[in-house]
Amino acid sequence: MVGLAATFGSGAMTNSINDFDDADLFLVTGSNTTAQHPLIGSRIINAVKRGAKLLLIDPREIPLAEFADLHLRQNIGTDVAVLNGIMNIIIEEELYDKEFVETRTEGFEQLKEIVRKYPPHVVEKISGVASRDLKKAANMYAKADKAMLAYAMGITQHTTGVDNVKSCANLAMLTGHLGRPATGVNPLRGQSNVQGACDMGGLPNVYSGYQPVIDAAAKKKFEDAWGVAALDDKVGLTITDMMIAAQKGELKALFVMGENPLMSDPDTSHIEQALSNLDFLVVQDMFLSETAVKADVVLPAASFAEKEGTYTNTERRVQLSGKAISPPGEARPDWRIICELSTLAGYPMNYSSPADIMKEINAVTPSYAGITHERLAGGYGLQWPCPNVEHPGTPVLHKDKFSKGLGTFLPCEFKPVAEMPDEEYDFMLTTGRIYYHYHTGTMTRRISILEREAPEALLEIHPDDAKKMGIRNNDVVEVTSRRGAVRLKAEITKRVPQSVVFSTFHFHEAPINLLTNSAYDPVAKIPEYKGCAVKIRRCV
Amino acid sequence: MKTLAKKDLIETLTIWAQKHDVLCPTQTDPGDCIFDTFREKTFTLDYKKPPLSPKAVFFPHSEITFKVENNEYREVVSSKNTLIFGIRACDMMGILQATSFMSRDQKDIYYSAKRNMGMTIVMACPGPQNETCFCTTTHSGPFARKGFDLQFYDVGDTFLIEIGTPGGEALLSAIPLTDIDDTHAEQQIAKFQKKALRHLPEVKSVAKAMKKLKDDKADEKIWDSFGQKCITCGGCAFVCPTCTCFSVYDHQFSPGNGLRARIWDACLYGGFTKEASGHNPRASQALRLKRRHEHKLLHYNEIDIQGSLCGCVGCGRCSDYCPVHIGTLEVVKAIAES
Amino acid sequence: MTRTRTVCPFCGCGCSFYLLSERDRVTGIEPSPSNPVNKGMLCVKGWNAHEFIHSPERLTKPLIRKHGEQVESTWDEALKLVADRLLDIKKQFGPRALAFLASAKVTNEENYLFMKMARATFGTNNVDHCARL
């Protein structure tokens, strides 16, 4: 998000899900779309069947690879090099959109300067992508009329995540694939309300609607709206920094609402130490998650079916969800718990309903000003920005100009994965999700059919590697990184390239994030889940 | 024959709602049309096929079958007086198929209890609901020939009412009806049916595909190509009016307290046919798709009840709601052309 | 039977479906046929999203750690304890010794209130969520 915000002035999917039906070409990278966003993946499959082109950049042979016109399997973490290489060819062969570059962007010379250093043979050496494939990819993307670029965590979960995103944005701007229907740069967001959590200011540096906490006017606005004297005017800690502060003993208390960092965060043993070091841990959840087990107080929360409220999907569409049943036992909706707690702590919150809360959101958040429960009840959601109650919402961002005026090329140099394999830790571990499960499995692993379909974690390993090590299908193997060891069964498959293994973080029996590296992107603070060095041993 | 003035329909449904849970086409606030409990404000006659067929009423997606409370076992067979108004003929045939299946060998008490207390009122179709309707081909529409308690024909300002069962006839006793001359009514119905049939030509590829499957002449490659794009959502089975497979799960709340529930299952899920040993006779998505369509189109001969040797009622939902266009229509076309 | 329109709790697609329910038991799922995102379709997770809601492992009472064990408590006791402890720590170490993790799985209204609580009630900008993208 930081990467897109820096380039365009707004960090969100530029286009809409329905645009997938109209594009001529898709550049999909770092997204196993059919598994993680199945109903977007299916649209890509349908589009290919009607003649659209699919250009896939992904180290793994994911299901979409069967439909790809061209699949570049780059070495893990070499995305910037590949994208720079594609831009190098586009500029060299003058395939770029000169009018768009001239009228809508700035910083083209700097881009040229940097990508000049990435001719095909250099990129081939770094990434393993053949020069001729790179040229083909550049031509395909640049020459398409309506090309949509879609990415997910495979791009962001790197120490170079922001650079990867900026490079995607550079490529789209260079070719003018922006600001029109069925084009754009489209981050596919992985959780039902991750977009909304950001929009609502669940971030250390901004209030709702991305209004900076260091901006005096924004601070004053919220002080007035909330009737408080002096809000904190310094940027707070990110989750990554919180864990560090907790380990150092600077952070004393942590309140976790509906998350499970002890499974979802990298280098879990360090997270565990950090949480143990706290004086006070509160977890508000539906289940006694791995994190909740460590808590001093656990507050039982309602599920999505037991409360009313809105969620913002990956295309910025805010939708209203109703209450079907009552929560079990004494569980309560999160908003009620917060109201009561805040009141007890001396700051009364007296909201009668989520609709009532939304009225306040409308008043203080310009992009959500026109999104009322009343309007949402009578339709299928509104896409922000929606500045007033007459506004129909915004399906395509950056139509005539970028949120920040001109789009800025922010070229990046290639940097390798923070922890590359070496003699001892000779494999690269990359992680992700599988189709049947979601996140840390607290919900999906309590669904019998999903549990039947995918009951246990598997380690994907290439047949040649398996053969060398005498590993057969379903053999138990131990995967060890510098941070920990996990045992799980092997699945021998060509989905992964040689010297790369893949697994998921859904299964508490094999908590893969014990192994992952907490080295993170310096700007976005996203950890490098997608690559770390491990060694593998067959257990007997 | 009896007729009901259209203006009296709301009053009629209101009367029936006194003794039944009346389910009828409903326009929701956001603009979806689905079947829901009758409310005057949201009732609509302007409706097409909702995703779920009426099978969900008698065979719910998720249903408790027994509970154990303080070590006492108690069977849970829920049922209530239900009246479904506005069923389409294809879905009526779907109910007959499901009932036939659920009554064979050992009677399914959970299904039967609900089915026995459910009244069905069919609304004859004047033509296709959309481009995926092919009920004439499967001999299951556009009007019902059996199974219904009542069947309504919309002939403008009035509905002509065909009585299917004594129970249906009893429903008519409490509502404002007008008599109409039988010959005249029959002429009107014949005209309605003729016109409806004209708008629903037979889909030739269905019979062709069935024959090819029977003669084992279908090209195996089509299953690979479908299998490659299937996203394994299970939606085709869930929206199908004749799919009745289920799985069960147990929930234990504390020692001596728990329940068992059954939930819809789908033969396209890999675990559906996986054996305890780990062996799966339908190991690939291609094989699972093949089995599913052979089941619908080939292996229904002995238990055929609609005279078409087919386990499909031609509602077209699998084509409407498959995310990657692997509905029966697409499959029979591929087989026929292979 | 009641049908309530909801949003799928899993990925970011935002598919919409109706939950079918009888009293306080969810009995099924019907995808919204006209919603522009999913148009009457769902994936395997969406179609099966009803079961975990009734899981016997759902938390039904607040838990408080006493002598090392998490034991059931009343809401009054639990909330008072949380408020008191957070205020204590704030008094002793300043607001930056507190941190709040918002959720990518709960509603906008709840996330808004949560960050408001962190900032207005407890005076800290230490608020983040678990899925940095």
Task: Provide the CATH topology of domain A427-538.
Answer: Barwin-like endoglucanases (2.40.40)
- Find residues 8-37 of chain B whose CB sits inside 8 Å of chain A: 29-31
Q: Do C48 and C15 belong to one domain?
A: yes
- Distance from the B233 Cα atom to the nearest Cα atom in chain C, whole angstroms: 4
Q: Do C87 and C98 belong to one domain?
A: no
Peptide linkage before A385 cis (omega within 30 of 0): yes
pLDDT over 70 (residue A173) = yes
Tell me the pLDDT of chain A averaged across its residues.
Answer: 94
pLDDT-derived band at B306, boundaries 50, 70, 90: low
DSSP, collapsed to helix, strand or coil, labels residue A432 as: strand
Mean pLDDT of C10-27: 95
B180-238 tens-digit pLDDT:
999 999 999 999 999 999 999 999 999 899 889 989 999 999 999 999 999 999 999 99
Mean pLDDT of A426-448: 91
Of the candidates B37, B42, B8, the one whose C-alpha atom is nearest the C-alpha of residue B21 is B37
Query: For chain A, which residues make up each domain, given as ranges?
Result: 2-188, 194-383, 427-538
Residues B307, B315: Cα–Cα separation, whole Å? 16
User: Greatest CA separation found in chain C?
Assistant: 55
Chains that touch A (3 or more CB pairs under 8 A): B, C
B66-84 tens-digit pLDDT:
999 999 999 999 889 999 9
Say if the Cβ atoms of C41 and B233 lie within 8 Å. Answer: yes
Return the pLDDT at B125: 96
B48 part of a folded domain: yes
Residues C108, C114: Cα–Cα separation, whole Å? 10
Total of domains in chain B: 2
Residues C56, B67: Cα–Cα separation, whole Å? 13
Residues B51, B35: Cα–Cα separation, whole Å? 10
Mean pLDDT of A169-179: 95
- Distance from the C31 Cα atom to the nearest Cα atom in chain B, whole angstroms: 7
pLDDT over 80 (residue A2) = no
Of the CA atoms within 13 Å of residue A418, those in its CB half-sphere come to 20
CATH of the domain at C38: 2.20.25.90
pTM, whole model, 2 decimals? 0.95
A378 vs B contacts (CB less than 8 Å): 29-31
B72 part of a folded domain: no
Top CATH class, A194-383? alpha beta
Residues A254, A186: Cα–Cα separation, whole Å? 33
Give ipTM to 2 decimals: 0.97
B100-127 tens-digit pLDDT:
889 988 899 999 999 999 999 999 999 9
Options 3.30.230.30, 2.40.50.140, 3.40.228.10, 3.10.310.30; CATH of A2-188: 3.40.228.10
Among A287, A293, A317, the residue with its CB nearest the CB of C57 is A287
B115-172 tens-digit pLDDT:
999 999 999 999 999 999 999 999 898 999 999 999 999 999 999 999 999 999 999 9
C52 vs A contacts (CB less than 8 Å): 303, 443-444, 446-447
Among C7, C60, C130, the residue with its CB nearest the CB of A259 is C130
Among C37, C53, C127, the residue with its CB nearest the CB of A204 is C127
Q: Do B196 and B284 belong to one domain?
A: no
- Distance from the B248 Cα atom to the nearest Cα atom in chain A, whole angstroms: 8
Say if the Cβ atoms of A257 and C101 lie within 8 Å. Answer: yes
Total of domains in chain C: 3
Return the pLDDT at A265: 84
- Distance from the B183 Cα atom to the nearest Cα atom in chain C, whole angstroms: 41
> Does the CB of B166 have a partner CB in chain A at under 8 Å?
no
Among A45, A435, A453, the residue with its CB nearest the CB of B229 is A45
Return the pLDDT at A402: 84
Q: Do C85 and C98 belong to one domain?
A: no
Residues A57, A61: Cα–Cα separation, whole Å? 10
- Distance from the A48 Cα atom to the nearest Cα atom in chain C, whole angstroms: 19
pLDDT over 70 (residue B307) = no
Residues C25, C31: Cα–Cα separation, whole Å? 18
More confident: A519 or A390: A390
Return the pLDDT at C133: 40
Tell me the pLDDT of chain B averaged across its residues.
Answer: 93
A485-516 tens-digit pLDDT:
999 999 999 999 999 999 998 999 999 999 99
Do the beta carbons of residue A469 and residue A462 sit within 8 Å?
A: no
pLDDT-derived band at A63, boundaries 50, 70, 90: very high
Do the beta carbons of residue A311 and residue C107 sit within 8 Å?
A: yes
Residues 6+ apart with CB under 8 A from B91: B53, B54, B55, B241, B313, B315
Return the pLDDT at B309: 56
* Segment among A289-303, A397-411, A497-511 with least mean pLDDT: A397-411
More confident: A320 or B308: A320
pLDDT over 90 (residue C132) = no
Q: Do C87 and C117 belong to one domain?
A: no
Residues 6+ apart with CB under 8 A from B41: none
Among B30, B33, B60, the residue with its CB nearest the CB of C28 is B60
Say if the Cβ atoms of C28 and B31 lie within 8 Å. Answer: no
pLDDT over 90 (residue A267) = no
Say if the Cβ atoms of A45 and B324 lie within 8 Å. Answer: yes
Q: Do C29 and C49 belong to one domain?
A: yes
Q: Give percent of chain A with pLDDT exceeding 90.
A: 85
